[in-house]
Amino acid sequence: MRFLRNTHVLFLDVVLNCVAFSLLPGVSCSLVLAQEHNVHLATAPADDTQASHFVSDLLSKMTLEEKLGQMSQISYKEPHSVSHEERILKGQTGSFLFLTDPAEINRLQHIAVEQAPLHIPLIFGYDVIHGFRTIYPVPLALAASWDPAEAQHVQSMAAREASAVGIRWTFAPMVDIARDPRWGRIMEGAGEDPYLGSRMAEAQVRGFQGDTIGSPDHMLACVKHFAGYGAAEGGRDYDSANVSDEQLWNVYLPPFHAAVQAGSGSLMSAYMDLNGVPATGNRFLLHDVLREKWGFQGFVVSDWESIASLKTHGFAAGPDDAAVRAVNAGVNMEMTSTTFRDNLAAAVKNGSVKESTIDDSVRDILLMKYKLGLFTNPYISLDHARAELGSTAQRDAARAAAERSAVLLRNQGSVLPLKKSVASIAVIGPLADSKPDIMGSWSLAGHPDDAVTVLEGLRKKLGSAVTINYAKGVEIDRVQPSIFDDLFTSPKPVLKTQQERDAEFRHAVDQIKKSEVAILILGEAQSMSGERASRSTLALPGRQQELLEAAVATGKPVVLVLLNGRPLDITWASQHVPAILDTWYPGTEGGNAIANLLTGDATPGGKLPVTWPRSVGQIPIYYSQNLTQIPNETDTRYWDGSSAPLYPFGYGLSYATFQLSNLKIDASSIRRDESLTAAIDVQNTSAVAGDEVVQLYTHQRAGSASRPRRELKGFARVHIAAGEKRTVKLTLHARDLGFWSPQTHQWAVEPGLFDLWMGEDSTAAEHVAFAVVP
């Protein structure tokens, strides 16, 4: 057995397993006492110099096979010809994914740390997208909160729960800009805007990782999917993205840059071709931009089998060529497939890959393991894990996040909040009592039994004082199965005949007729959003539209509550349904949060992070388009209907009402290294306290290239008491006016005149002008 120089390893074959590392002269390292039943140890963040010295010493002792092992990640649940234990003992893997059992994580970690020759700890990864055991609102919903502090808190809580079971690496946040709601993974990101997307990206990285990598109760972030994945043609997941350089630098890359600047320790390459070159073999992205231009210091992991897929793309000649292209492009670790492990040793031998390239790849991985504290504190406490999973603190945080992310789209006649005098309510819809569907896609570690449905939330909230008449009315299902059906599935239809389906439909209408108000919970099953869940239309699936129209036809007041991961076609509803509340997929506490929102114990304050289309024919549609011919008649670009959105970006109502006025700026001109402050008065003109999101937009009138008619450059969510008037101030830095010019091929802040608007959404009317001077 080989030992590291100046490293001593103590094995105690008893219940209390100890591993003591004395790493290098002058470098202290804590004794790890991992008594899994009652000890939870915190780890101090690692010093960069100490980490570098330690990793260099370790790397010098590794064989090429062991280095390639650190570059290989194994899917725990996939069948393998060689056991996991043997792979660990031979140093043929450095990471596992899709393992959530803390006892098994500890068992495998003990093998790696105590029995494998170099005692290198494993890193366990998982898709902690919007929660672990406790499920929070999906990321698109978090973006709808327009509150980066809330997004940071949510991901900090998710990290706290996941790290308690030994998962120290999440494959999140997804920061892909998406402007086509047909794309299923739009629900994983922050929507269409690079500024909002950047603020949410950096907030989530800080939430997952804490103040620094290695912070107690936190985990390593992995920003994905680099880059342009959200621009898939036709919104079809995995399809190619063809993006101009101007759009790439100004729209799709900024959230990744913000995440890197926030300190993300890892990044995931994308599946698709970007402008003809697969992202996983794209040296321009992974080396020139990421490392050379941005100075990224972490490691890059491929997406699922995306290295092996380089051959499928017609980019690599075979697996050996794929391995060479990926590692030379800048991929450090391969997810699930074995292209690196099977081919890179030969590539080093024949000179197509330098061993220094392998060393650099492994060094990045080991540095992150060291900074996470895995060398000093590799194990977790089972008691701590049990206490953290689904705790009261987790559920309280999930409920607050769900309340904060809901968007009120319509409230004609103040139907909401429900009147205290209401004695009977019809709760109708296929999603009204579905536990998996209120959680949303990517809830793989969540327990549906923990979830509170809308029906359950209202029953708990209203008690016996209000009669609740429930019927699902219709059932919905995907035409094609989901790739996640074996892991997390929505309820399957049980009505087998048309006669049964018609009878349930009539029953729902009868329930509405005998109630004072109807609440319809419609939208998409969770399996209809997420990966490989793109759609050709945005219509309400199944007979939900028919059910909605039948409900309105009864003459009873109707409230439409949406559960969804994308904008849907609700154009008819926007004209005929008096109240529409978009709650997205709100998570484990969704039912309780929605009950609070419907009854007025919580007030909606979210805003749309996407432009909401009237029909699928408008896609792609987004607010920050360039000015072109006839700019004042943008609503007439189609002869057969409006070309304007149904709801603009940044839109959202409240039970309170607000008036914004008296916009002022403290400087009429600024230099490129200066800033100005814009101030606007916000008056709550109602008797209800509520939140308003004040938004700041700019437009550059002339320059080296045409610029969007408006671009978001600042926002603040503020709580304003009933009748209160406040002055809200936002700082605009000149550097935020910079852009990458397709003329100069450089990023610059150009001098000239700018427009500035502040208001409630992207159609804000309050306006001033200012100049940037040389």
Which are the catalytic amino acids? 303
Residues 545, 141, 518: CA angle, nearest 5 degrees:
35
Paired tokens of 755:
């427009």
- What's the distance, CA 771 to chain centroid? 36
Q: Distance between CA atoms of 501 and 291, rounded to whole angstroms?
A: 57
Backbone angles phi, psi at 302, to 5 degrees: -70, 160
How far does Cα 268 stand from its chain's mean position?
13
Evaluate whether 693 touches 652 at the Cβ level (below 8 Å). Answer: yes
| Rg from Cα positions in the chain | 27
Give the DSSP letter string of 65-87.
Answer: HHHHHHTEEEETTS--SS-HHHH
Cα(398)–Cα(161) distance, rounded to whole angstroms?
12
- Cis peptide leading into residue 227 (ω within 30°): yes
Q: Give the list of residues 6+ apart from residue 583 with CB closer than 8 angstroms, or none.
A: 141, 402, 405, 406, 561, 562, 563, 590, 593, 594, 597
Of 690, 694, 692, 680, whose CA–CA distance to 721 is shortest?
690
Of 325, 245, 259, nearest to 294 by C-alpha is 259
Rounded CA gap, 576 and 147, in Å?
31
- State how far the Cα of 556 lies from the Cα of 566, in Å rounded to an integer: 28
d(CA 658, CA 680) in angstroms, rounded, equals 12
Q: How wide is the angle at C-alpha 753 spanned by C-alphas 748 and 758, nearest 5°?
A: 100
| Sign of the alpha-carbon torsion through 475, 481, 485, 486 | positive
